[in-house]
């Protein structure tokens, strides 16, 4: 073996290797550099494994709710039934390994739920949090409780898409959508899966069509818009609790729902909510007819934001 060019710089046999680095010319112990790095890595790992579940709530998919007058957010019956189902879901998510559950009061202006009665291990989000619904926070997963099917669904109980009074239909890339599909797509844009839904059979079918691995708790069967066969509140809550736990156990195996590439969002409004005279000047809009606007975007988020901007 040939000798090195500068043999005098070689470490002598048996001499301990230096444990010092230099920092701006000054010697520093290796451990002083390694320790902060270890803390940063540990902190990052903790942040990644923390499991926060974001729960979207509504009224029309709750067990025992089948008539329009029952959906009044101030109705004690609705408040008790919905709160019971939410608290059962919170218990199930925590039993399955969730670290935190955030519940959004999503029905009729956030007037249904109360911090007095919500599960003590949940946090309550009230009011409209914006078009992205805070889903850009990169939650571990989202879930639906009390969810209804999209507008024009066969056998859907009180089915509609966002507003039964204001919106006739919503199409994304020419396919009908409601809250389930659109919120799943927003979450998917931030790599967040939908893992659970409770509601009527039509709502469960809507989610299963785009996220077949999600856990479902069907609490009632619809026969018509205002006719259904419902479980008791106690049985519905037990089913929700069990399915929520099961959803947490398989969270790693449920893929986010994504809409890729350029997108269009087309909204047909009802006669009482026709677009105003300024509608043709909104960004990315195409006027289809007197009640229908189509919004174009480079991706789903841009198209959806343009369509739903207030």
Per-residue pLDDT tens digits for 111-138? 999 999 999 999 999 999 999 999 999 9
- Give the count of beta carbons closer than 10 Å to the beta carbon of residue 100: 16
* Bridge partner residues of 196 (DSSP): 143, 215
Whether residue 143 is found in the same domain as residue 280 = no
**What's the pLDDT score for residue 91?**
98
- Name the helix (H) or strand (E) containing 57: strand 52-57
Answer yes or no: is pLDDT of 18 > 70: no
Quick check: is 46 in a domain?
A: no
State pTM to two decimals. 0.84
Whether residue 247 is found in the same domain as residue 304 = no
In b/e form, how buried is each residue of 189-220, taking b as 16+ CB within 10 angstroms?
A: beebbbbbbbbbbbbbbbbeebbeebbbbbbb
Quick check: is 37 in a domain?
A: no
* Bridge partner residues of 268 (DSSP): 169, 292
Whether residue 125 is found in the same domain as residue 143 = yes
Quick check: is 131 in a domain?
A: yes
Answer yes or no: is pLDDT of 17 > 60: no
Per-residue pLDDT tens digits for 22-40? 544 555 444 444 445 444 4
Tell me what the mean pLDDT of segment 228-253 comes to.
Answer: 98
**What's the pLDDT score for residue 27?**
53
Phi, psi of 187 (to 5 degrees): -60, -40
**What's the pLDDT score for residue 50?**
84
Of 26-35, 86-95, 191-200, 279-288, the poorest mean pLDDT is in 26-35
Whether residue 139 is found in the same domain as residue 288 = no
Per-residue pLDDT tens digits for 153-178? 999 999 999 998 999 999 999 999 99
Own/partner contacts of 216-224, CB < 8 Å, gap of 24 or more, are 216/243, 217/242, 217/243, 217/244, 219/61, 219/62, 219/63, 219/85, 220/61, 220/63, 220/64, 220/66, 220/157, 221/155, 222/155, 222/156, 222/157, 222/159, 223/155, 224/155
Residue whose C-alpha is closest to residue 303's, from 262, 257, 267, 260: 262
Cα–Cα distance, 248 to 215 (Å, whole number)? 9
Whether residue 127 is found in the same domain as residue 243 = yes
Quick check: is 15 in a domain?
A: no
Whether residue 118 is found in the same domain as residue 185 = yes
Give the pLDDT band (50/70/90) at residue 309.
confident
Quick check: is 22 in a domain?
A: no
Whether residue 119 is found in the same domain as residue 206 = yes
CB 101 within 8 A of CB 52: yes
Q: Which of 253, 273, 298 is the last residue of a domain?
A: 253
Per-residue pLDDT tens digits for 292-307? 999 999 999 999 999 9
Whether residue 129 is found in the same domain as residue 70 = yes
17 or 220: which leads in pLDDT: 220
Structural domain range at position 108: 51-253
Q: Specify the CATH number for the domain of residue 131.
A: 3.40.50.10780
Identify the three-state secondary structure at position 287. Answer: strand
In the chain, how many domains are there?
A: 2
**What's the pLDDT score for residue 109?**
87
Whether residue 199 is found in the same domain as residue 297 = no
Quick check: is 62 in a domain?
A: yes
Whether residue 75 is found in the same domain as residue 213 = yes
DSSP code of residue 141 = E
């Amino acid at each position: 073996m040939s000798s090195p060019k500068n043999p005098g710089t070689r470490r002598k046999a048996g001499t301990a290797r230096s444990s010092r680095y230099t920092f701006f010319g000054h010697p520093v112990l290796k451990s002083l550099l390694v320790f902060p790095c270890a803390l940063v890595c540990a902190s990052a790992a903790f942040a990644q494994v923390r499991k926060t579940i974001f729960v979207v709530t509504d009224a029309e998919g709750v067990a025992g709710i089948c008539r329009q007058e029952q959906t009044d957010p101030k109705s004690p019956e609705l408040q008790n039934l919905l709160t019971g189902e939410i608290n059962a879901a919170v218990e199930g998510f925590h039993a399955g390994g969730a670290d935190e559950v955030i519940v959004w009061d999503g029905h009729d202006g956030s007037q249904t739920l109360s911090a007095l009665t919500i599960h003590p291990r949940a946090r309550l989000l009230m009011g409209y949090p914006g078009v992205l619904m805070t889903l850009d926070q990169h939650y571990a997963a989202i879930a639906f409780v009390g969810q209804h099917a999209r507008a024009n669904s066969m056998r859907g109980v009180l089915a509609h898409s966002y507003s039964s009074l204001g919106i006739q239909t919503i199409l994304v890339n020419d396919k009908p959508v409601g809250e389930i599909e659109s919120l799943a797509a927003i979450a998917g844009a931030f790599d967040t899966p939908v893992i659970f839904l409770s509601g009527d059979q039509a709502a469960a079918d809507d989610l299963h069509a785009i996220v077949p691995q999600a856990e479902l708790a069907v609490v009632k069967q619809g026969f018509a818009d205002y006719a259904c066969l419902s479980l008791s509140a106690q049985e519905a809550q037990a089913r929700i609790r069990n399915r929520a736990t099961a959803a947490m156990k398989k969270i790693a195996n449920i893929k986010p729902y994504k809409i890729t590439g350029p997108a269009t969002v087309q909204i047909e409004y009802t006669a009482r909510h026709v677009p105003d005279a300024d509608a043709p000047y909104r960004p990315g809009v195409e006027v289809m007819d007197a009640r229908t606007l189509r919004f174009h975007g480079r991706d789903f988020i841009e198209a959806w934001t343009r369509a739903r901007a207030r």
